Chains A and B, each alone.
Chain A
Amino acid sequence: MTAVIETHGLTRTFEVGDISVHALRGINLIIEPGDLVAIMGSSGSGKSTLMNLIGCLDTPTSGEYVLDGERVESLSKNQRAMIRNRKIGFVFQGFNLLSRTTALENVELPLFYDRQNHVRNHRQAAVEALNRVGLADRLEHTPNQLSGGQQQRVAIARALVNRPAILLADEPTGNLDSRTSIEIMSVFQELNTEGVTVILVTHEQDVANYAKRIVGLRDGRIVRDIAVTNRHDAARDLAALPQSEELDS
């Protein structure tokens, strides 16, 4: 099976005034399709930079990056925009939904920028994606009418709607309480069992324990890369928790 992500000696250096800041110092990372990887590291370890590079929001200073069979390290801005549109689904810590815009319209957004128009019926695709994250009954709600967990689910649906090669989640549970965090992780696990490759960036061990594999970063280098042995099942953890206090579900 060919890897969905393959990087060789990826570095990223920022010039701040006269000083060069080496955020990444040679990352070699291979991620197979269907994996659920947690990238861990404290702040300043370079995990956000790696995330931006994997997500094609940024280009490496040197090194190779193959995403889904395509060399992407030296693509132009427009080409990167297309890669983001076709191959990557982003989920952010702060949800990053368009305010005063319904869940459905938020999910439709990536389809709007698909120049080849792979999906004919935007609405139908968006409804399906919202269905997969269990929000079929919240189509016309705007973000401020939704709970944090629901907002993050909308964001996941938006990331899924273009059927990307990878789902890239940056601290997806950072703004959520522990119960909702587990809920979101169960969504990721469920999608992963359906075959979606998920990469999450987190600094919480609890969250990383739901992944299949943990990649640890420190000072711009990979310091550990391990398979998770006692992997948690988010659905089971959720059932074990005391009765739901959520009012809106």
Chain B
Amino acid sequence: MISITRLLRASSRSILRNRMRSLLTSLGIIIGVGAVIVMVAIGEGSQAQIEANITSLGTNLLLVIPGSSNTGGVRQGSGSFNRFTFDDVEALQREATLVDGVSPVVRSGGQIIGGAGNWSTSVYGVSPEYFKIRSWEVSSGDFFTDKDVIARRKVALLGKTVADQLFPNQDPVGQNIRIRNIPFTVIGVLKAKGQTGMGQDQDDVILAPSTSVLYRLKGDRHIDMINASAVSSTQVDSATAEMRTILRKSHKLTEGQDDDFTVRSQAEIMQAATETTKTMTLLLGSIAAVSLLVGGIGIMNIMLVSVTERTREIGIRLSVGARESDVLIQFLTEAVVLSVSGGIIGITLSAAVVAGLNKWTTLQPIITPETVVVSFLFSAIVGIFFGFYPARKAAALDPIDALRHE
């Protein structure tokens, strides 16, 4: 067998003999591979961003929201019919086995006065389990406890935004604030979470014991929502089903009656979001792949020209003992070297583009090793596929005719 190093050396030599032409031929592959990697990187980047956003909402999160009401055939939107009470929460805490934590959420809000000035924000009444469910951490102070909930103590945790607004240059822990004129003591500040995927500031919030918010601020009977977390991400679906059964029983719904609530998992939301970005990645990737295909056709075109141009060279090679397969492999190698070096240049170029995008734009593209490997292999396959026909043509030449070719 002819040694591979000699073969590679011979084909690089003939490629370098026509530098400009070779570069232009590879350009199709360079652009193709570069485009595929950059496009997929942008897609992967936005997917990762969305996933990170959703994870920051809490992992394995299950949301139980009130159902819709049906009054004389007129159906209201979801949340219009609310029957959640602390009994539901207790039922879930007692009976659910696939749920790690359950917390009521009582939504309130209004003008907050304290420290340097005032600020309007949302106040959520929750139980201590809420912190784990929603992955909250404190940057100073501490969370409230079950005792605070039972005693309906007027304590509050401030989100980063609220803390910054009310207490710009001081530690709010121990300070008093007034929520709609009812005094609360700040016992902690929450660690910043940033924005959600929808651009909502998650840190513009105050957390307080559910009972305090419900009875002292709202003066209501019903809680707005229940948050829970499944024991693991694989158990989300069964946990959803389990919660549904418990709540139906708790609400005394008979068979055939519709649920008066909805259990929604974060996984569904996440799935929908990642599905969208995946489709986008695929779309961008396939558009870029078309340019790779066009690059391949460019290689085929130039190889065909090259075979005609070098007919006599082929004749010489055959006359000194080259087999058809030798000629085939030689031309195939040239095509593959062209496309693979184009692929390598494309990868390098795309790395530079991605670095630039990371630095100067808000896009955060991510190059995964898989994309690099796949596009590299793809460029090699393009070379083999589009190089084969010209190489076959070269190998099939008759030595006598080839030698006579002018």
Contacts and interface: CB of A to CB of B under 8 A. Distances in A.
Interface of A: 52, 55, 57-58, 77-78, 81-82, 84-86, 90, 92, 96-98, 100-101, 109-110, 112-115, 158, 162
30 contacts: A52-B400, A55-B319, A57-B318, A57-B400, A78-B323, A78-B324, A81-B322, A81-B324, A82-B321, A84-B319, A84-B320, A84-B321, A85-B321, A86-B321, A90-B320, A96-B315, A96-B316, A96-B319, A97-B316, A98-B313, A98-B316, A101-B13, A109-B320, A110-B320, A113-B320, A113-B321, A113-B323, A113-B326, A114-B321, A115-B1
Given A100-B17, A115-B1, A109 B323 contact: no
A97 B312 CA distance: 9
B98 interface: no
B301 to A, nearest CB: 22
Contacts of B315: 96
Give the one of A81, A96, A100 with max B CB within 10 A.
A81
B405 to A, nearest CB: 11
Given A57-B400, A96-B315, A98-B313, A112 B323 contact: no
Interface string B1-42: 110001000100100010000000000000000000000000
Interface in B310-356: 312-313, 315-326
A225 B323 CA distance: 35
B273 interface: no
A110 B6 CA distance: 13
Interface of B: 1-2, 6, 10, 13, 17, 312-313, 315-326, 399-400, 403
A54 to B, nearest CB: 13
B2 A115 contact: yes
Contacts of B321: 81-82, 84-86, 110, 113-114, 162
Nearest to B319: A90
Given A57-B399, A92-B403, A113 B322 contact: yes
B316 A109 contact: yes
Nearest to A83: B321
A22 to B, nearest CB: 18
A158 B319 CA distance: 11
B229 to A, nearest CB: 69
B320 A85 contact: yes
A18 B325 CA distance: 33
Contacts of A78: 323-325
Contacts of A101: 13
Nearest to A58: B400
Given A98-B313, A109-B316, A113-B2, A77 B400 contact: no
A56 to B, nearest CB: 10
Nearest to B323: A81
A101 B17 CA distance: 9
Give the one of B13, B319, B325, B399 with max A CB within 10 A.
B319
A78 B1 CA distance: 13
A82 B324 CA distance: 11
Contacts of A82: 321, 323
Given A81-B321, A113-B326, 11 more contacts: A57-B318, A57-B403, A77-B323, A81-B318, A84-B319, A90-B320, A100-B17, A112-B10, A113-B320, A114-B321, A115-B2
A91 B399 CA distance: 14
B356 to A, nearest CB: 39
Contacts of A109: 316-317, 320
B403 A96 contact: yes
A96 B10 CA distance: 18
A158 B400 contact: no
Contact of A57 (B13, B17, B319): B319
Give the one of A52, A57, A98, A112 with max B CB within 10 A.
A112
A162 B320 CA distance: 10
Shortest Cβ-Cβ A-B pairs, 10 listed = A85-B321, A110-B320, A113-B321, A81-B323, A84-B321, A113-B322, A78-B323, A57-B399, A96-B316, A90-B319
B335 to A, nearest CB: 19
Contacts of B325: 78
A90 B13 CA distance: 24
Contacts of A162: 321
A96 B403 CA distance: 8
Contacts of A113: 2, 317, 320-323, 326
Nearest to B318: A81
A58 B325 CA distance: 18
Nearest to A108: B6
Contacts of B326: 81, 113
B126 to A, nearest CB: 79
Nearest to A114: B321
A109 B326 CA distance: 13
Given A84-B319, A112-B2, A113-B317, A96 B312 contact: yes
Nearest to B312: A96
A92 B400 CA distance: 12
A125 to B, nearest CB: 14
Contacts of A86: 321
Nearest to A113: B321
B313 to A, nearest CB: 6
Give the one of B2, B6, B13, B323 with max A CB within 10 A.
B323
A115 B323 CA distance: 10
A118 to B, nearest CB: 12
A78 B320 CA distance: 12
A112 B2 CA distance: 7
